[in-house]
Amino acid sequence: MTGSSAHPTSITAATAPDGRLSLKSPTPISGYVDGAWWPGSLDLAAEVPVLAAQLADRWGAVDRVSYDLAAWMPAPRQVMTSDRRIRLDGFRGRRPTDAVHISGGWRPALTLLVIPPATETQAARATLRRAAENGNQDSIDDLLQRETPSSSTGSDHSASYLNPARSSR
């Protein structure tokens, strides 16, 4: 969650040209997420340079990405882009598991909902749009249109949407 209005004003509520990233316009209270990201795979090391390039003009340089280890394939501690090193900080039990937290420079952290790579295109694009709507206060579960743990049958589905191996427990 973020609640700072210190995001650069160059961010616009729009989806990146390839349709896999959306960001809200800066507001004093942005809700649960600042936007959404629909990676093409669970290979974080391959996906982060693409994400960083998309964020460069709209948010600024990315220095660090924090993520839940159970939600992604094993990744190195850092990846290199053409102009910088990006630190990948994986944690166990990170909540929410379906978000990544981006930091860079003097800006407050950016929280992005992660849309599962296997999501059908129409559903993913709808989620990208909803997550970027100014004033949207939907929870991550609401944005992903899934049951909340309290309304489910008690099964732990955390991170299973990203990593299919976790859903077989």
All structural domains of the chain with their residue ranges? 14-168
Q: How far, CA to CA in Å, does 122 sit from each of 43, 128, 152?
A: 22, 10, 25
Is the predicted pLDDT of residue 28 greater than 80, yes or no?
A: no
Helices and strands per DSSP (H, E), number in the chain? 3, 8
Contact 9, 21 (CB under 8 A): no
Could you report the per-residue pLDDT of 85-144, keeping only the tens digit for each?
999 999 998 677 899 999 998 888 899 999 999 999 999 999 999 898 888 888 788 888
Q: Which of 29-43, 50-64, 112-126 has the lowest mean pLDDT?
A: 29-43
